[in-house]
Amino acid sequence: MALVWALAGIWVLSPVFGSLTVNGTRPNIVLLLMDDMGWGDLGVFGQPSKETPNLDKMASEGILFPDFYTANPLCSPSRAALLTGRLPIRNGFYTTNAHARNAYTPQEIVGGISDSEILLPELLKKAGYVNKIIGKWHLGHQPKFHPLKRGFDEWFGSPNCHFGPYNDKDIPNIPLYKDWDMVGRYYEDFIINHKTGESNLTQFYLQEALDFISRKRNTQQPFFLYWAIDATHAPVYASKPFLGTSRRGLYGDAVREIDFSIGKILGTLMQTGIANNTFVFFTSDNGAALISAPNQGGSNGPFLCGKQTTFEGGLRVPGIAWWPTHVTAGQISYQLGNVMDLFTTSLSLAGLDPPGDRTIDGLDLSAVLLESKVMDRPIFYYRGNELMAVRLGLYKAHYWTWSNSWEELSQGIDFCPGQNITGVTTHDQVEHSINPLLFHLGRDPGEKYPISVLSAEYQDAVIRISSVVKQHRDTMIPGEPQLNVCDLAVMNWSPPGCEKLGKCLTPPESKPWKCVWPH
What confidence tens digit (pLDDT) does each residue in 382-429 have?
999 999 999 999 999 999 999 999 999 999 999 999 999 999 999 999
Q: Is 181 annotated as a binding residue?
A: no
CB proximity list for 229: less than 8 A, separation 6 or greater: 33, 34, 35, 134, 135, 136, 201, 202, 205, 258, 261
Confidence check: pLDDT of 439 > 60: yes
pLDDT bucket at 1, cuts 50 / 70 / 90: very low
CA-to-CA separations, 493 to 159, 167, 180, 504, 506, in angstroms, rounded:
13, 12, 16, 6, 6
Mean pLDDT for all residues in the chain: 94
Confidence check: pLDDT of 124 > 90: yes
Average pLDDT of 163-188? 98
Instruction: For residue range 322-333, list pLDDT tens digits in order.
Output: 999 999 999 999
Average pLDDT of 132-161? 98
pLDDT bucket at 220, cuts 50 / 70 / 90: confident
Task: Provide the pLDDT for residue 19.
Answer: 44
Provide the 3-class DSSP secondary structure of residue 60.
Answer: helix
The candidate with the shortest Cα–Cα distance to 188, out of 415, 505, 519, 516, is 505
Task: Provide the pLDDT for residue 190.
Answer: 97
Average pLDDT of 136-151? 98
Task: Establish how many alpha carbons lie within 13 A of residue 119's alpha carbon, considering only the half-sphere containing its beta carbon.
Answer: 24
Question: What percentage of the chain exceeds 70 in pLDDT?
Answer: 95
Average pLDDT of 241-262? 98
Task: Provide the pLDDT for residue 189.
Answer: 97
How many C-beta neighbours within 10 Å does residue 108 have? 17
Task: Provide the pLDDT for residue 330.
Answer: 97
Instruction: For residue range 276-286, list pLDDT tens digits in order.
Output: 999 999 999 99
Q: Is 35 annotated as a binding residue?
A: yes
Indicate the range of 9-23, 59-73, 146-160 predicted with least confidence.
9-23
Task: Provide the pLDDT for residue 22.
Answer: 44
In this structure, the chain runs to a length of 519
Instruction: For residue range 3-52, list pLDDT tens digits in order.
Output: 333 333 332 333 333 445 444 579 999 999 999 999 999 999 999 999 99
> Which secondary-structure segment (H or E) carries 148?
none
What is the spatial distance between Cα 456 and Cα 49, in angstroms, rounded to a whole number?
Answer: 42
Task: Provide the pLDDT for residue 219.
Answer: 86
What is the spatial distance between Cα 124 and Cα 30, in angstroms, rounded to a whole number?
Answer: 13
What is the spatial distance between Cα 404 and Cα 518, in angstroms, rounded to a whole number?
Answer: 8
What is the spatial distance between Cα 405 and Cα 138, in angstroms, rounded to a whole number?
Answer: 26
The candidate with the shortest Cα–Cα distance to 19, out of 349, 276, 343, is 349
CA-to-CA separations, 242 to 172, 229, 246, 261, 293, in angstroms, rounded:
30, 16, 8, 12, 19
**Catalytic annotation, residues:** 75, 138
Task: Provide the pLDDT for residue 218.
Answer: 83
Task: Provide the pLDDT for residue 269.
Answer: 98
Q: Is 486 annotated as a binding residue?
A: no
CA angle 221, 227, 228 (to 5 degrees): 145
